[in-house]
Amino acid sequence: MEKAEEKVQDALNLNHPEERTGANPTLAGNQNQPYHAAHNDAQTPDNFGDLEKEPRPHPIERRQTGIDIKGAESEFAELQREFSRQSQRISRQHTRQSAQKGTHDVEKAVSSGSSEEGEPFDLEDTLRGNKQLEEDSGIKGKKIGVIWDKLTVRGIGGVKNYQPTFPDAFVSFLNVPGTLMSLFGLGGKGKEVNILQDFRGVVKPGEMVLVLGRPGSGCTTFLKVLSNQRFGYTGIDGDVTYGPFSAKDFEKRYRGEAVYCQEDDIHHPTLTVGQTLGFGLDTKVPGNRPGGVSKNEFKNKVVDMLLRMFNIEHTKNTIVGNPFVRGISGGERKRVSIAEMMITGAAVCSHDNSTRGLDASTALDYAKSLRVLTNIYHQTTFVSLYQASENIYNQFDKVLVIDEGRQVYFGPVKEARAYFEGLGFLEKPRQTTPDYLTGCTDRFEREYKEGRGPENAPSTPESLAEAFNKSTYAAKLDTEMAQYREVVKEEQHVFEDFKTAVIQGKRHAPKKSVYSIPYHLQVWALMQRQFILKWQDRFSLVVSWVTSILIAIILGTVWLQLPQTSAGAFTRGGLLFISLLFNAFQAFGELASTMLGRPIINKHRAYAFHRPSALWIAQIVVDLAFAAAQILLFSIIVYFMCGLVLDAGAFFTFFLMIISGYLAMTLFFRTVGCLCPDFDYAMKFAAVIITLFVLTSGYLIQWQSEQVWLRWIFYVNALGTFVKDTILEARVICETLC
């Protein structure tokens, strides 16, 4: 370091050689004089005219001085190298000291190239090893391509949605006919529009397609339709075939083999990352496993591989979270969504803007991982990205450009830029190819070459689509589609292997089922997950228990030791009714959880994880276990503080009626959550029905006193039967005691 400091001082002295060598004796001898005194000759007025007559040197030319410019530059460069060597030496020493002390940056994620144990992780080698094990175990591969021809997708558009104001809340709540018309789809509708129009193309196994387009151009619709998710559209025309299978047959027999990873990350917030991926593997662990490993070994191996692949090993025991529950970061949550989709092992995968929330390096690693997976397992991959880098763009084989629902280019990625430049658009060599292609579809961003413009170059989605249909790329595409259709007819053994691979992936499930495990194993896996969800949601659990205990103490205090005479008959009935009503309304929280859980159920159904009905059964069993303990404590406090009859049969009848009412109302709220389109309708419907249930349950208005035309509600009332039984019990007890 001393030598480096000396060199710095020498370099600084180069700018003032007179201070070092005394080259200017005037200044050296008169250092204490003012500046104007040292330059007296140059300051006199008589010399001003001579100074103006002297020619000024060119600003770029260097004056000939006694300073060695080249020598100074070389010394400065040497100084930079010396500092770099010193910095690297200090950095290595600090690293060694930190390693000896065992310090670790807790905020820094583990590198994707190594694990926490320091073992290098190579994704390609790992996947190739797994593939070789599968082949040695006789497990077939799944290879299937996709052809779409004259694909047109229609939907409802042109609907005006107004932001409601405060008075609108009262008007809409009282507008019962309008609400009913909206629920049954009888209200005003928008007009039908073409979301996609006349799309055609082919993607063979082992190819990756990048889908580009502005937001709202139809990229998501294209990915969903190719993933065979057709609900929500008014009509789909054209042919989409998966190898030799039509879209209808593929949905019926191989639903989980074409999957779609949506842009929004929807998970159960209180599950950890390991539990989220573990549940998916519980429903997807194949029956025929490579190497003959057990189910748990296979599950742990795949989870660890996925976490290391996406560099999120450190989040395994952290809850996923959501915008309201603190958990992992948004980028990590996105990687969990991608990993969950990869668990399906599907042959056709569609990723919708899956790099949202990821940094540039992680997004590139993700694209490279898809490239490796596609190459090794011969998947058919579609990816929609916004603002992809050039390195990500080069990972793909083909690119599809969409402009307002029209296919304006589909072909090799290396020729797409030249194609649009040939149409008359201005070259922008400094702009990435994905941004350039997307910009050509934006009328506010695209620019034309000199002499070209909207009048003599494509400028609308229709003209761009027409230009593509007349190009050589469209002719090559038609030829490629015809050739692949011939390949599909000839290579039937490939699709027989596909069928065999699907059957090998099942674990005790029927061969014709789209699910990998039978119904009872789905219920068991869901019961385990539901128990974890209940147990890890500590806030809701504690609030529910504390509320139940407080209300039980209040009820026991208000009706403390009821009289054993006829004077306490009506009061005893009120106690039984409020006990039933409170615990029944404890299930009101199921309405919100059901509404929030619907997207997760739809996603898992599309992934062929489980049947929706299996979830209902699992929830009933787990809810019964948690509710039984809570209601038992409530019943003990209320029953014995209020001095009800000390008989085991009477106590357990009281306990059974409350549990039955709770389960009945739980199923009611879940049904409302499934039927209603949003929270607004669900709350309105639940508020009205609950009011009717309370009024017609037989306590406030007795059945014989109700209007004849209203009595039918008593028989469909979830509380009516239990109120009748509890009141009857109270009367029997009263008659026995009195």
pLDDT at 293: 82
What are the residues whose beta carbons fall under 8 Å from the beta carbon of 468, sequence distance 6 or more? 407, 408, 409, 410, 474
Bridge partners, residue 155, by sequence: 193
Tokens of 266: 């929807």
73 or 197: whose pLDDT is higher? 197
pLDDT at 152: 94
Q: How many CB atoms lie within 10 A of CB 632?
A: 14
Judged against a pLDDT cut of 80, whether residue 585 lies above it is answered with yes
Cα–Cα distance for residue pair 416/409, rounded to 1 Å? 8
Please state the pTM of the whole predicted model. 0.76
What are the residues whose beta carbons fall under 8 Å from the beta carbon of 20, sequence distance 6 or more? 13
Please count the residues of the chain. 738
Name the phi and psi angles at 155, rounded to 5.
-150, 180
Tokens of 635: 């019943």
Tokens of 153: 């997708």
The DSSP output letter for 55 is P
Q: Report, as an integer, the average pLDDT of 13-22.
A: 43
Model pLDDT for residues 392-449, shown as the tens digit of each residue: 999 999 999 999 999 999 999 999 999 999 999 999 989 999 999 999 999 888 899 9
Give whole-number Cα distances, 507 to 248, 348, 518, in Å: 25, 21, 8
Tokens of 611: 């049947």
To which H or E segment does residue 258 belong? strand 258-261
Kindly provide the b/e burial profile for residues 567-576, where b requires at least 16 CB atoms within 10 angstroms of the residue's own CB: ebbeebbebb
The DSSP code sequence of 275-306 is: HHHHHHHHTT--SS-GGG--HHHHHHHHHHHH
Bridge partners, residue 399, by sequence: 210, 411
Residue in 714, 575, 721, 546 with CA at minimum distance from that of residue 640: 575
Backbone dihedral region for residue 102 (phi beyond 0: left; psi -120 to 50: alpha; all else: beta): left
Confidence of residue 644 (pLDDT cuts 50, 70, 90): confident
Q: Report, as an integer, the average pLDDT of 532-542.
A: 90
Judged against a pLDDT cut of 80, whether residue 528 lies above it is answered with yes
The DSSP output letter for 378 is -
CA 399 to chain centre: 24
Confidence of residue 73 (pLDDT cuts 50, 70, 90): low
The DSSP code sequence of 85-131 is: HHHHHHHHHHHHHHHHHT---TTSPPPTTB-TTS-B--HHHHHHHHH
Q: How many CB atoms lie within 10 A of CB 442?
A: 11
Cα–Cα distance for residue pair 136/503, rounded to 1 Å? 17
Residue in 602, 624, 621, 612 with CA at minimum distance from that of residue 522: 612
What percent of the chain is modeled with pLDDT above 70? 77
To which H or E segment does residue 402 belong? strand 398-403
729 in Cβ contact with 576 (< 8 Å): yes
Cα–Cα distance for residue pair 340/268, rounded to 1 Å? 13
Q: Where are the domains of the chain?
A: 2-93, 397-470, 519-737
Q: Are strands 245-246 and 406-412 parallel, antiparallel or unpaired?
A: unpaired
Model pLDDT for residues 244-303, shown as the tens digit of each residue: 999 999 999 998 899 999 988 899 999 999 999 999 999 998 888 877 788 888 899 889
To which H or E segment does residue 566 belong? none
Residue in 220, 260, 261, 258 with CA at minimum distance from that of residue 348: 258
Residue in 327, 388, 325 with CA at minimum distance from that of residue 356: 388
CA 247 to chain centre: 26
Tokens of 653: 């009848």
Average pLDDT, whole number, for the chain? 81
pLDDT at 44: 40
116 in Cβ contact with 315 (< 8 Å): no
Burial of residue 464 (number of CB atoms within 10 Å: 0-12, 13-18, 19+): buried
Model pLDDT for residues 461-495, shown as the tens digit of each residue: 999 999 999 999 999 999 999 999 999 988 888 88
pLDDT at 81: 65
pLDDT at 494: 87
Cα–Cα distance for residue pair 207/221, rounded to 1 Å? 20
Confidence of residue 180 (pLDDT cuts 50, 70, 90): low
Model pLDDT for residues 664-722, shown as the tens digit of each residue: 899 989 988 888 887 878 888 888 888 888 888 877 777 777 777 777 877 778 777 66
Cα–Cα distance for residue pair 400/396, rounded to 1 Å? 11
Cα–Cα distance for residue pair 181/177, rounded to 1 Å? 6
Judged against a pLDDT cut of 90, whether residue 556 lies above it is answered with yes
Cα–Cα distance for residue pair 88/90, rounded to 1 Å? 5
Bridge partners, residue 154, by sequence: 194, 235
